[in-house]
Homo-oligomer: A and B are copies of this chain.
Amino acid sequence: MFWDELKYDDKGLVCGVFQDYQTGEVMMISWLNREAVQKTWETKKTHVYRRSRGHIMMKGEVSGNVQIVHEMIADCDRDALVIKVEQVGGAACAHGYRSCFYDRVSGDGSALETQSEPLFDPKKVYGQ
């Protein structure tokens, strides 16, 4: 299967760029090991390898904001995947934003400025 053709790094990971399948908005980047790639393909739901926790989790398993996978494309080095997804619940970011990319560089480059509003309250969803 295609996951045998990928080139995993010294930690056994490839980089995943998760993109809205309709608008092209980049929702997040995350890391996948071979098993996460396989699970993502077989279930058609995003699974990622959490480096900080050392295990695979399904995106949205707590919040319900799963991602339905529509397409997967490897790059020329075969160490990265663009994964086109449909974001259930509207928000991909654990901080409540639609996308994890919400801090835009200001016009003069002096700072990062939040450019959107959160869609949910992380405290209510994750209880933190």
Contact = CB atoms under 8 A, between A and B. Distances in A.
Interface of A: 1-2, 5, 15, 17, 19, 23-26, 28-29, 41, 71-78, 80, 82, 93-95, 97, 100-106, 109-112, 115
Most buried by B among A76, A80, A112: A76
A102 B76 CA distance: 7
A101 B74 contact: yes
Contacts of A76: 93-95, 97, 100, 102-103
B103 A78 contact: yes
A112 B115 CA distance: 37
Nearest to A77: B100
A1 B110 contact: yes
A41 B105 contact: yes
A73 B103 contact: yes
